[in-house]
Amino acid sequence: MDHVYDPLPTGAFIRLLDIVDLNSTSGQFVCSFRTVQLDGESVPEYAALSYTWDHPATRVSSIAVSNSPESSLPLSQTLHEFFKELKRRRMCSETLWIDALCIDQGNTAERAAQVAIMDRVFSSAQNVIVWLGSSTPESHKAFKFINSKRHLPWPAGWRDIPDDEAKAGLEGVMSAVLSRPWFRRTWVVQEATLNHSVEVICGRDSTEIGTLQRCVLAAWRFVESWALFNPEPAVLGMWCATRLFVIRDEFLQRGSVRFERLLQHAYCCECSDKRDAVFAFLGLADKSLSLPAPNYSVPVGEKPEYDAAVDQVYYDTAVALLCHGLSLDALALAGDTLSHRDGVPSWVPDLRYISFEDPFTTVDRAHWNAGGPMFTKAELAAPGKLKVRCSIVDTVDTVCTEFEWDSVAAHQKAMREVLALASRLLRTPRSTSSSSTRIMASSSKQENEDDDEGSTIWMNRLVSILTYGLGIDGQPIGLEYRAFFNDWLRWLQTNPSDEDYAQIYSNKFYRALNMRLESWRVFSTTRGFFCIGGGETKVGDKVCIVPGCRFPLLVRLKTECQGPAVSIDAILIYWCYVDGLMDGGWLDTNHADVELVLS
């Protein structure tokens, strides 16, 4: 390829791609570049394209560049299909911004500088085009269903739709639309969030992003016959689309998104350069955060330098949030329960690995605030060592079997152990959370199916605890979940096989349990706290409350302490649920008198 790109001036300058003509002989688009300043008084109208890069990016066709004679730019399969659709629609005089074409990808300095202003590129565009790829008969049918519901608000407008009709249509949306790679790409979150006008195009079909969002919300209500943690593209796309829309709503309301929520989303997205798990979200973040600036000086795959560069980005991000941010909630994104590369401290999120964990949606919906206000920020005690103040609540003394979504035997064993533990610990109320209060207050109205009134009350508490008081849609549960719980237990008692799970997929308690506690386990402490933690929870771990962190934390001491200790070395295991402590209050009567040094 001959010379195409002239250097961009320093500052908020970008290249726009003008479609000048269509060569009638070759069918090739003829385009030209122009440099524009986003700080200028009149930014020309342009559409920014959001799409999925092809890996590897094999050249399929090309476009001619008129202001660089004899030069052309290669088009990958995805971009070839996009320009083919432009030709079909006779859109031959468009002005576009397409990263693969408008950024000199061979210039790492330019690439980093353009990433740093990506928020302005997409927010300054007249509109954003989401290109999902060519259509199929299945995707055409799915878009027809989506657009037939474009005037229906969620949830009120969907109440009169027959369940079978909604289920069939939404299953088609999941399999033919949400399975597209675009939904799993990290960069699309920023691209689809920064602009109010976003059109989703799939071949000849299109819809407005808000219409698609309402269909995704409806799918959680109507589509029941899918495994929540199945790594199939449709399921991954469902998770990613749901979180994208939560982020988009928060950004449009507040003008920024809490970076902890963005990092949570990064765990279930895909990017070829793992540094983009941070860099791809910078445009949505609070500008006061001292987050690491984009830097691609170390090429992808250059081992071990590349791994070290990724480690440094994640480390610097954690330090920015924990030592200079407004809370210590980012501790809930890390821990040895999640996968970590050797050498990455336990308190640093390692975003290379996939995780479906969703703590920040849960903590917001359930209104948890275990740690209350932040007294002091975390500090670096030494490289790789984070110092936080905490109150050690208790020690883990009993651990139940882990919940496994695809194992009936594991669920049966876990529930036997959980029921035995709950019958001993939940008879005396600890929690004052709104969900527990609501379901317990309704207990007296329930027809008594248990041996005595006392067991009715603690069983109702157990239902609330195992779901965190939330249904699969994130809304507070009511007493009807006790009936769903009873049905779930009865099903387990029939000794079904693993292949029989389809019989119980529609049970709302099972779906909420599965969503929240997959790979988690119930445990108790020496003082009788009823708790839930990740699969790595072990006897001897310590439950801690950290001022400024809304989640209780589990830590594992590196050396056993003899008597009171002011400073303790430990590793972070993960966040946990502790009945009675989620709504705060522990630090009203207990001091954060321990200095925890996490490594």
Please state, in angstroms and rounded to a whole number, the distance separating the CA atoms of residues 504 and 488.
7
DSSP string, 46-102: -EEEE----SS----EEEEETTSTTEEEEE-HHHHHHHHHHHHTT--S-EEE-HHHH
Whether residue 534 lies inside any domain: the answer is yes
Whether residue 186 lies inside any domain: the answer is no
Whether residue 167 lies inside any domain: the answer is no
**Beta strand extents in 490-564 (DSSP E only):** 520-525, 530-534, 542-545, 553-557
Please choose, from the candidates 312, 302, 311, the residue with its C-alpha nearest in 3D space to the C-alpha of residue 342: 311
* pLDDT for res 440: 43
DSSP-derived 3-state class of residue 551? coil
Q: What is the DSSP letter of 420?
A: H
Q: Are residues 503 and 530 in the same domain?
A: no
CA angle 481, 486, 492 (to 5 degrees): 125
Whether residue 205 lies inside any domain: the answer is no
Whether residue 236 lies inside any domain: the answer is no
Q: Are residues 355 and 413 in the same domain?
A: no
Q: Are residues 354 and 446 in the same domain?
A: no
Q: Are residues 296 and 358 in the same domain?
A: yes
CA distances from 267 to 40, 93, 319, 361 (A): 37, 39, 18, 14
Q: Are residues 388 and 525 in the same domain?
A: yes
Q: Are residues 390 and 454 in the same domain?
A: no
Q: Are residues 424 and 484 in the same domain?
A: yes
Please state, in angstroms and rounded to a whole number, the distance separating the CA atoms of residues 477 and 489.
18
Please choose, from the candidates 485, 192, 520, 177, the residue with its C-alpha nearest in 3D space to the C-alpha of residue 362: 520
> CA neighbours within 13 Å on the CB side: how many for 168?
7
Q: Are 395 and 557 in contact (CB under 8 A)?
A: no
Which phi and psi angles does 226 have, rounded to 5°?
-140, 145
Please state, in angstroms and rounded to a whole number, the distance separating the CA atoms of residues 555 and 569.
10
* pLDDT for res 230: 66
The number of beta carbons lying within 10 Å of the beta carbon of residue 581 is 24
Q: Are 389 and 546 in contact (CB under 8 A)?
A: yes
Q: Are residues 427 and 372 in the same domain?
A: no
Q: Are residues 387 and 472 in the same domain?
A: no
* pLDDT for res 359: 94
Q: What is the DSSP letter of 11?
A: S
> Judging by beta carbons within 10 Å of its beta carbon (0-12, 13-18, 19+), is residue 402 exposed, middle or buried?
buried
Give the number of domains in the chain.
3
Q: Are residues 411 and 397 in the same domain?
A: no
* pLDDT for res 360: 94
Tens-binned pLDDT, residue by residue, of the chain (599 aa): 457 888 999 999 999 999 888 776 777 888 899 999 998 778 999 999 999 988 766 788 888 888 665 678 889 999 999 999 988 887 777 899 999 999 998 899 999 999 999 999 999 999 999 999 999 999 999 999 999 999 999 888 998 899 899 999 999 999 999 999 999 999 999 999 999 999 999 999 999 999 999 999 999 888 876 666 566 888 889 999 999 999 999 999 999 999 999 999 999 899 999 999 999 999 999 988 999 999 999 999 888 999 999 999 999 999 999 999 999 999 999 998 888 888 899 999 999 998 888 899 999 999 999 999 999 999 999 999 999 999 999 999 999 999 987 889 999 999 999 999 999 999 876 654 444 444 444 444 443 444 455 678 899 999 999 999 999 888 899 989 999 999 999 999 998 888 888 888 889 999 899 889 989 999 999 999 999 999 999 999 999 999 999 999 999 999 876 556 678 999 999 999 999 999 998 999 999 889 999 99
**Beta strand extents in 385-490 (DSSP E only):** 385-399
Q: Are 172 and 141 in contact (CB under 8 A)?
A: yes
Please state, in angstroms and rounded to a whole number, the distance separating the CA atoms of residues 109 and 215.
41
Whether residue 540 lies inside any domain: the answer is yes
* pLDDT for res 447: 39
Domain span at residue 463 reads 407-507
Q: Are residues 32 and 116 in the same domain?
A: yes
> Judging by beta carbons within 10 Å of its beta carbon (0-12, 13-18, 19+), is residue 461 exposed, middle or buried?
buried
* pLDDT for res 446: 45
Please choose, from the candidates 518, 510, 470, 246, the residue with its C-alpha nearest in 3D space to the C-alpha of residue 363: 470
451, 472, 507 - which closes a domain: 507
Q: Are 147 and 207 in contact (CB under 8 A)?
A: yes
Whether residue 230 lies inside any domain: the answer is no
| 307, two tokens | 């791994």
- Residue tagged 């249509």 (tokens): 169
Q: Name the pTM for this structure.
A: 0.90
* pLDDT for res 252: 94
553-557 vs 567-575, strand pairing mode: antiparallel
478, 507, 536 - which closes a domain: 507
Whether residue 226 lies inside any domain: the answer is no
Q: Are residues 466 and 524 in the same domain?
A: no
507, 536, 551 - which closes a domain: 507
Amino acid in position 470: L
| 278, two tokens | 């941070």
